[in-house]
Amino acid sequence: MESKDNSVSEALDNEYKYGFVTDVESDTFAKGLNEEVVRAISKKKKEPEFMLNFRLKAYEKWLTMKEPVWPNVQYPPIDFQNISYYSEPKQKKKLDSLDEVDPEILNTFEKLGIPLEEQKKLANVAVDAVFDSVSVATTHKKKLMEVGIIFCPISEALNDYPELIEEYLGTVVPVGDNFYAALNSAVFTDGSFVYIPPDTISPMEISTYFRINTEETGQFERTLIICAENSYVSYLEGCTAPQFDTNQLHAAVVELVTLDNAEIKYSTVQNWYAGDPETGKGGIYNFVTKRGKCQGEKSKISWTQVETGSAITWKYPSCILQGDGSVGEFYSVALTNGHMQADTGTKMMHIGKNTRSSIISKGISADHSSNSYRGLVRVGKSATNARNYTQCDSMLVGDQSSAHTFPYIETGNSSLQIEHEASTSKISEEQLFYFEQRGISRENAIATIINGFCKDVFKQLPMEFAVEAQKLLTLKLENSVG
């Protein structure tokens, strides 16, 4: 019975298929971080004065901060002086069209299943592709511009729309919010910027793909999305990285703002390289701060994430429910296998009256991995009639993995209505045998059970992404057992 349980977890392993390195010349800063590096990044990007000050302030803060130790993850100390803070694929001049992008980079994105060329023509998703630290291609810009939507690399927005950036950047995640957010605020190099003007439903889904290519560079991208009154946008984010023996740091910050009656739906499928499944060597440290602020009344922010990669994930997409009647949602699937560690969850901060939040978290742990859900529901004095629904399900595969849940509730208000459900289950040998007895392969059985377990989250994803997420989980199960 026991050995068979191991084989269940073996079925969850698969080789990481995005582990290739692209051969492009890049312009990479020497390793190390100091004030000069911060200034150099800002200068390289020809940034306005306020941005440099923002960075310097963040850097100062960062110097006084310590890495958080509360997450339920273990890793050797990171040497922040042994990381290069800027890497840019070498190219002579600013690009006017996709045709001028280094074909090697385009090939890379194609291998990742994101044919930019095709997407440019096919049309329902606008893509911004970030390669190492720099945004290499943004598609559909023109079409979006026609309805007044701004979608561009944040470095470009700093020059073209400085007043918008100055007004919103750092208002959701302040520069000194946490160790990694401070670091990001000091050294971020690129990312995406989206602005949806009032009364506008985005005519297409907007999407960014992140790719870390160079060894020993960190990726610190910054995303800012503003959705003005009565507007709606669905934003997708995907990530991969090549396979290196050393760990790479990914410390992104994402800030979302919704004004009155606006809605942002933010979906992530994360598949960073998770390290060697046997030894645990290498892989991405994914230390990300994602937060949205429902600033306006009756506005809504919905986070959906499918986390399948990274050696360590430390991530809590959160909502500040400031506007009266605003709604925050968090739907998450986190799969850990090999030696992966994930500590992920959400924070719902109820400030406005009649605010509602719901949290649906599905953790799947296999092999030697550890999977923790950490969630906080905080209800302020002013937040009368707040409501929260939390459902936290864990699934264990094999006998050596672990699942933990850490739900916290802090309430300053007695009118809070809260509902909490939790469960832990296991894929049993009896279940797999039942499928096999009906002629269904073991791999299909595992994939079907896991898809069933994740259904409530998958159905939140836009169609193409749901298909991709399902495929990804199935792919993780591909190296099947006999």
Binder of another protein out of 25, 123, 425, 464 (CB under 8 A): 425
Q: Would you count residue 411 as binding another protein (CB under 8 A)? A: no
* Rounded-to-integer distance, Cα 174 and Cα 465, Å: 31
Q: Which of 313, 241, 237, 307 is nearest to 268 (CA)?
A: 237
Task: Name which position in 408, 434, 464, 467 contacts another protein (CB under 8 A).
Answer: 434
In sequence order, what are the beta bridge partners of 138? Answer: 128
Shortest Cβ 30–another protein spacing (Å): 51
Residues in contact with another protein, counted by CB under 8 A, come to a total of 25
Is residue 440 near another protein by the rule CB under 8 A?
yes
Smallest distance, another protein to C-beta of residue 472, A:
18
Q: How many helices (H) and strands (E) are present in the chain, helices listed first?
A: 12, 23
**Sole binder of another protein in the list 455, 459, 464, 467 (CB under 8 A):** 455
Three-state secondary structure call for residue 193: strand
Q: Give the nearest distance from C-beta 7 to another protein in angstroms.
A: 9
Q: Is the Cβ of residue 14 or residue 451 nearer to another protein in the bound state?
A: 451
Residue 437 binding another protein, by CB under 8 A: yes
* Nearer CB in complex with another protein: 123/440: 440
Shortest distance in whole angstroms from residue 450 CB to another protein:
9
* Three-state SS letters, 241-260: CCCCCCEEEECCEEEEEECC
CB neighbours of 414 closer than 8 A, spacing ≥ 6?
none
Residue among 175 and 432 whose Cβ is closer to another protein: 432
Amino acid at 202: S
CA 207 to chain centre: 12
Tell me whether residue 417 or residue 425 sits nearer to another protein (CB atom). 425
Alpha-helix runs per DSSP H in 112-197? 116-122, 141-146, 154-160, 162-168, 179-187
The answer to whether 438 contacts another protein (rule: CB under 8 A) is: yes
444 near another protein (CB under 8 A)? yes
Q: At what angle do helices 2-12 and 429-437 cross, to 10 degrees?
A: 70
**Residue 4 interacts with another protein (CB under 8 A)?**
yes
Instruction: State how far the Cα of 209 lies from the Cα of 240, in Å rounded to an integer.
Output: 8
User: Whose Cβ is closer to another protein: residue 150's or residue 397's?
Assistant: 397
Task: Please provide the DSSP assignment of 410-471 as one string.
Answer: EES-TT-EEEEEEEEEE--HHHHHHHHHTT--HHHHHHHHHHHHHHHHHTTS-HHHHHHHHH
Q: Rounded to whole angstroms, how far apart are CA atoms 203 and 126?
A: 10
Told to check if 430 binds another protein by CB under 8 A, we report yes
List the one residue from 411, 448, 479, 480 that touches another protein (CB under 8 A): 448
Closest CA to 70 of 343, 339, 370: 343
| Binding-site member from 122, 436, 459, 467 for another protein (CB under 8 A) | 436
431 lines the binding site for another protein (CB under 8 A)? yes
What's the half-sphere exposure (Cβ side, CA atoms, 13 Å) at 32?
A: 6
Least distance between another protein and beta carbon 169 (Å) = 42
Q: Binding residue for another protein (CB under 8 A) from 210, 272, 373, 453?
A: 453
| Sole binder of another protein in the list 124, 171, 441, 459 (CB under 8 A) | 441
Q: What are phi and psi of 358, to 5 degrees?
A: -135, 145
428 binds another protein (CB under 8 A): yes
Return the number of the residue (87 or 371) whose C-beta is nearest another protein. 371
User: Minimum CB separation from another protein for residue 451, in Å?
Assistant: 8
Site for another protein contains 118 (CB under 8 A): no
Contact positions toward another protein, by CB under 8 A?
1, 4, 425, 428-431, 433-442, 444, 448-449, 451-453, 455, 482
